[in-house]
Structure 1
């Protein structure tokens, strides 16, 4: 919010309402997160990016310039760092980008808060799939995932789920930028402060508004900072000092023995600090707060079924901080309601609570907003059109005029935090006046204890560790204060850019600056441990969460963090290998296979490479042997599962318009992007991690053999021979597991029970003459391209029906039971985008018939036509060729269809008056596959899917082919279970290939449960 005529407060380096971005950081074993924006553009997409820090270098960098070098204050005990993960950014060994979380309103993120993981029962707002929980380790129970809250410049609060790394909801209501966020975990509160001068308190399990707090007058300006102090930490005040100019009495009346949860402090643009007790005393005297936390069941009352939206507040412009424009005047006259989830605008139906004049100080009801410059008639209109109607559980409050330190500083109060000083809890405030004030928050007053003066510029950021305070200043200075002795013990100067965010983890301090860099300081030596460019521009906020010490005695393995932990780095490294099955990438394929072999061995498998065909890629064979104690009820022989996958990928080039480097995995909004993440490297690691987790806990009751080839995308050359040669090593197999297909949408988990087979053929028509000129020979010679077009046209009728005699004679008839499966798919997809996608691009408008045609009917396609020599408009080519594929279905025979195909082409070519020659080459074949839906292994998988997703899976077929699947069933005499992990939008084989982190995590858990369940079959 700008001052009149562009004036700014003392030493104000930035206008908060125009700041470009905020940043979140996760450190420790799990994650390190940040936000991303570029202030060079007028409207920015705010976001969060997650990175992972590597250990500090063994040899620290030289100490930065400092003023004096007194003994350092003790910080906290050192935590061990994990081994350095493979970095995706060679120039940045300190951090690896995990994901970017993007806001959906096109605005910059200015503030963030991170809510730690909690128990399932406390969250009553499940997402689309019925739960947001994630397993702490596969098969060991669930914990409710935490969230990231990001306040945007547009007044919205975005809610991201840490388990899925995806946007969950958006809270609306603020009419100004959300400049500060504060979590109160013990009350399930999120508190937001805004440039509209209001504070909102949200109930985090339901994302509903609980309190709406107004300033005491219209000159408060922006609320820039927040701090929460539990009531038990407030010191007893001295009533005799209440009249002191630096003492500000509140003296709220006490009601029996019931006390507020705590006190909220707000740092304001008008240089004041204001405070209020929550829940307010009048509420304590009458009833529980709208969302009481003493309900152990976590259930809400019927009135609390809230919305993540709250009514907007139409702020009366400040006479000092705001210049009133005609747009502002119109806004104060005409109310605009908040958006409902459907996108329509509506007001809620309840009224503002009416409080008596005897309401306790610090919690007075807010009067109706003043009408600025309106006539009596206009004021009457305003009263009618802008009346705020809050939800039944919302209480509207106002700061009391006596609960203010009016001139806490001589500049904007940018930051507030809690710290310790001589065993006392103190409130610390930083300002544009360059000073730091220490306050004693008493039960009845707020007392100024000390002022820490500085010759440096504005204080913009705080971080505290017990009695040590870190203060980030404008101009790139970090001052380290001992709050017991009130002395500066160190001055760090990493650069000349404003320090806008500070975060402390154990013996490390992370500082974020206006130039987009993040520095890591070793607090044992105060040396700079490293620096990296985290953002393109300003970083405004940081936070640390989900931190665990990497103690060797911890039962949690790095793999327990799933694809936000070591599996992320493993998959990123695997993606970096360009395992394209061609001669150019043969060595890189070999290196990729060796890396995969090493990873699987480290996960607990016995591994080796099986040579394939000469000049082809090897097969990686890995065996996770059962190690769980045998159960009395189980059979003497352990069951043995064969998993089939492939590590080779299709090519990816810059000309395909990737948004990211296809060989450097990146994350965005809960998705991982990179060539091979879904086809098939991600599923490989998910399934290996499932077996590894069970084995690590000595709970693996079956053997899992993984056969992972490197030639699947080019026809699986040498795979069958390698399997047959090593049949004894692989052993007898009870069931085959495959994960090489996709859901039909993004919302419904699936089980694939059928694939079409394929015949790839090349037709070539050759002339005995060289290329001819059409102006000389046109009409007087048999043209190969014309002959080719004619025989291609004979393959299908105008309506697309294949005209090969006997082509449909062996197609299995559709049963009523199978038709029921397709009808269930169409029924469940009603009302969503998935149903539209079923017929998108199809000439068949009926979704049911479209599925039947695509999945269980044979088809013939012409893929390309080529000519010999240059494609000139006057040239008659001497030869022409075409690539054709035929998709076959049960119960068609490969040999029979090939024979009929060749016979038809020969007959059609014989009808032509031509001297040219026709050759037909079958380049690749794969038989169809149909699963057994009555198999107990399929039933077990369906139950595991239902338990994890809280949705029964859809049973689907696919029109594509997996050449090795029918072979494996025949070779081992075992049925296969085809379990797709990815979704229909994963873009396999296409630019921007991706897979959702949630699907990988759930896929790992499902396979873990399935391996346990099938041991009892």
Structure 2
């Protein structure tokens, strides 16, 4: 879809740059013919045109290539083809439409820097940073303080264009003396400061080409990121930018304020885009780069990882990028391409090259308004109404507000609201549910949302008092978070909490009673995808640890390991843990997690056992194509027949698995386990068909299931498929080795297939595997949790096992040298992985209470 235009202004020359002052309701636009247009965003009037340069001096006129502002909207900065930077004081727009604008200063360099293509103002340092045609990046510190100091030079003849001219200053044949430039009489403006940028403030060849883009990074974001922690940089005195150049590189720079007027600049990292970087925009942790060839590349700044590459159908160079949530607008010669989810929409909005886009957001009369401003080569400047996007995403992310530079996060805790109360916890969960973190999806939106979610969780951990790093997992998949709430005890013992922020797809939204990505509180339940698996329990654990820390009752360190790939077989998790093993030490006492449910709706439980799993696919295929049963039936051995015969060898008529050694290593059920199973049967609200023997079969016995069968071809009654496949899901229990069972299965089907008199082929594919886990319900942690549950619920919990699997539990026990303990949060009717997933609010509040007390006593 596209949006209706609200207003259009026409100018005789191209619109090259824009910057909005939303609080002052003014939009400034720089033009090719050396003017700055001042437009009233309320009345849409052109209130003022500012011509640049001195009257009568045609060689001082220049294109306005870039505009930027101070955050308080007191100052406007402009630069362009004349190698000068101008500073303007901006007043307020009056009711009569008058706008007071005063040119306060001009900055210049004695170097021949050429055109200035990019310009930003770093408010914390009062530092102007700009990128030039000569590949240098220059900066000027304490700009406003310098303006406020007296005396100041006001001699306009110091400016480069008045001191020399590229034609008249040539030495001529034989290296003759320079011919003086023709210039008007001496000019002095007492109310105007002329400042020369020191040569020491020039970074030579910051790029190996023109520097087209400079974007600042929100300091509150980078302070949380390990990627921006560099020796020698002082926290709170450092600003960060990303520059982009024609050499294809995006570079992260740190500007560290060492002393007055002195900034130390360090290159932190760089990312190679392969194509020239013509524009950039940041919504931390994501960097969007507009490139030659119509490409938009999206990087995770936390990890310097390329996470997505998009391309405009026209393949025209992307000269401007704007982003609203997951809507990406790329401007180019053919107009604008919008990327959203897996959709691409291209529109020629101005009958010519769009040179500039900017997203504007304002509040008026209690309503929010979203606008897209586009400036084009033909001189048109258009405002487009994007309010439909606001209604489409009413509660997206961390309640963000958009400025012209992207996200800014307002104070999340209004006056009178505690950081650790349940309302704050609810708002955090609301934000978390809104991220579409489907790890099994290749959709660009899900990839971006997962990175945003990891960055958001990092902010929440830090807000609650933890230190938190985002760790790569080595395959550009969703990263791992490592957070630590530091206890008061001098001992080094720790408690680890394992959770995950990824989810399975909600499927068809029409089968949900509410939007799966909007947290709904209804009839005592929280509803939304991931609310019980696993975002709700994760948030409860985070707030439990943070609350205990704030009260000074937390003695042991609480270490959180939160992954983003659990629903995709925890891809890369084990490798990341091994790689960063030094972060955890050798002193973890317990591994706690909550990724399961009560056995019914009324009885709290503690889980101490999970079956393991081997999921595999058998595919039988023929070198012949799909054939017609009437023409070729009975001539060849058919893949479906061979697959059926093979599957029949896996079990006998009573369902007993015939894989060699399948039952040899089973551990007999202990008397204590039998007693626990009998107690579950007596106390739990189970189906009438359930029995103790069936509980044992579900929880403590292995099984083999054929879960899916597919054939090639159209699937009608007369086509013989050239291939057929079946998926096996084998659940294993303690005593069975997952790798031995996998090898035995593969060997078994291979041996049987080799006995078939067939020309067909067999392919065995392991899909995923997980070890079984059996905890120790009599250990100190389980017994403490039992007491805490009794105190919270007034009833002793049931000790249960489950037939499902969690891949990393046994791995964490071995890697950290600690016993795992699971405390289920939700009920049997939570519908995890199904439509209308939910979590009872009382359960959620109670597990927070239980965990906070347990964290202080374990």
Q: Deviations over 1:810-863 (max 9, x none)?
A: 11111211100011111112xxxx221xx6xxxxx4521111000010001111
Q: How far, CA to CA, are the matches of 1:880 and 1:817 in structure 2?
A: 46
For 1:815 and 1:911, the matched residues in 2 are separated by 41
Contact persistence 2:597–2:827 (CA under 8 A) = yes
Equivalent-residue separation in structure 1 for 2:509 and 2:626 (angstroms): 32
| Kept after mapping to 1: 8 A contact 2:491/2:556 | no
**CA separation in 2, counterparts of 1:950 and 1:911?**
62
Matching of residue 792 in structure 1 with residue 647 in structure 2: yes
User: Secondary structure, in 3 states, of the residue corresponding to 1:852?
Assistant: helix
What is the match of residue 595 of structure 1?
456
Q: How does 1:291-302 map to 2 (within 5 A)?
A: none
| In the alignment, structure 1 residue 578 sits paired with structure 2 residue 436 | yes
Equivalent position of 2:471 in the other structure = 610
Question: Would you say 1:935 and 2:779 are equivalent positions?
Answer: yes
Which of 980, 988, 1006 does residue 832 from structure 2 map onto? 988
CA distance in 2, matches of 1:774, 1:703: 68
- Aligned residue for 2:506, secondary structure, equals coil
Against the structure 1 CA distance between its residues 655 and 801, is the aligned structure 2 distance closer, same or farther, given a 3 Å change threshold? farther
Structure 2 segments unaligned to the other structure (5+ residues): 1-21, 25-363, 369-412
Q: Which residue of 1 aligns with 2:686?
A: 835
1:656/1:991 contact within 8 Å kept: no
Distance 2:575 2:703 in 1: 30
Aligned match of 1:1009: 853
**Which residue of 478, 481, 486 maps to 1:625?**
486
Q: For 1:924 and 1:828, how far apart are their aligned partners in 2? A: 35
Distance 2:609 2:602 in 1: 21
- Residue pairs, 1:328-477, within 5 angstroms: none
- Taking the TM superposition and a 5 Å limit, the aligned residue runs for 1:616-695 are 616-627=477-488, 630=489, 636-654=490-508, 657-695=511-549
CA RMSD, Structure 1 to Structure 2 (Å): 2.3
Give the distance between the partners of 1:677 and 1:551, measured in 2 at CA.
25
Contact preservation (8 Å) 1:645, 1:680: yes
Question: How far, CA to CA, are the matches of 1:704 and 1:557 in structure 2?
Answer: 22
Match of 2:610 among 739, 743, 755: 755
2:561 aligns with 707
What's 2:334 paired with?
none
Measure, in 2, the Cα distance between the counterparts of 1:892 and 1:528.
66
Aligned pairs for 1:100-111 (under 5 A) are: none
Number of matched pairs: 452
Q: SS at the partner of 1:593?
A: helix
The answer to which of 732-741 and 990-999 deviates more is: 732-741
CA distance in structure 2 between the aligned counterparts of 1:680 and 1:551, rounded to whole angstroms: 27
Quote the offset at 1:58 in angstroms: 11
How far residue 667 of structure 1 moved from its aligned partner, in angstroms, is: 1.3
Q: 1:727 to 1:769 in 2, by over 3 A?
A: same
What are the within-5 Å matches in structure 2 for residues 126-205 of structure 1?
A: none
Alignment match of 1:802 (pick from 657, 661, 673): 657
Q: Deviations over 1:684-723 (max 9, x none)?
A: 0000000111111111111111110000001111101111
* Correspondence for 1:781 among 617, 628, 636: 636
Please tell me whether residue 852 in structure 1 is matched to residue 696 in structure 2. Answer: yes
The structure 2 residue matched to 1:698, chosen from 540, 543, 552, is: 552
Equivalent residue, structure 2, for 1:284: none
**Higher relative contact order structure (alpha carbons within 8 Å, sequence separation ≥ 6):** 1
**Higher strand fraction (1 or 2):** 2
The residue number in structure 1 matching 2:677 is 822
Does the Cα contact within 8 Å between 1:605 and 1:625 map onto a contact in 2? yes
Q: Which residue of 2 aligns with 1:633?
A: none
Instruction: Pick closer, same or farther for the CA change 1:551–1:803 going to 2, 3 Å.
Output: closer
* Aligned counterpart, 2:96: none
Residue 735 of structure 1 contacts residue 975 of structure 1 at CA under 8 Å; is this kept in 2?
A: yes
Normalised by the length of structure 1, the TM-score is 0.43
The equivalent of 1:443 in structure 2 is none
8 Å CA contact retained: 2:509, 2:516 = no
Q: Cα deviations across residues 414-460 of structure 1 (Å, max 9, x unaligned)?
A: xxxxxxxxxxxxxxxxxxxxxxxxxxxxxxxxxxxxxxxxxxxxxxx
Q: Distance in 2 between matches of 1:622 and 1:866?
A: 44
Corresponding residue number in structure 2 for 1:307: none
Is the aligned partner of 1:925 residue 2:779?
A: no
Instruction: Determine the structure 2 residue equivalent to 1:811.
Output: 666
Partner of 2:753: 909
Aligned equivalent of 2:596: 741
The 2-side partners of 1:876 and 1:985 are apart by 43
Which runs of no fewer than 5 residues in structure 1 stay unpaired? 1-56, 60-526, 532-549, 631-635, 840-844
Cα displacement string for residues 343-401 of structure 1 (whole angstroms, at most 9, x for unaligned residues): xxxxxxxxxxxxxxxxxxxxxxxxxxxxxxxxxxxxxxxxxxxxxxxxxxxxxxxxxxx
Tell whether the 8 Å contact from 2:610 to 2:699 is kept in structure 1 after alignment.
Answer: yes
Secondary structure of 1:880's match? strand
CA shift, 1:530, in A, is: 7.9
1:314-342 deviation line (CA, Å, top 9, x unaligned) = xxxxxxxxxxxxxxxxxxxxxxxxxxxxx
Q: Kindly tell me: are residues 787 and 528 of structure 1, through their superposed partners in 2, closer, same or farther at Cα, counting changes over 3 Å? A: closer
| Pairing of 1:545-556 with structure 2 (within 5 A) | none
Check if 1:865 corresponds to 2:723: no
CA distance in 1, matches of 2:462, 2:711: 50
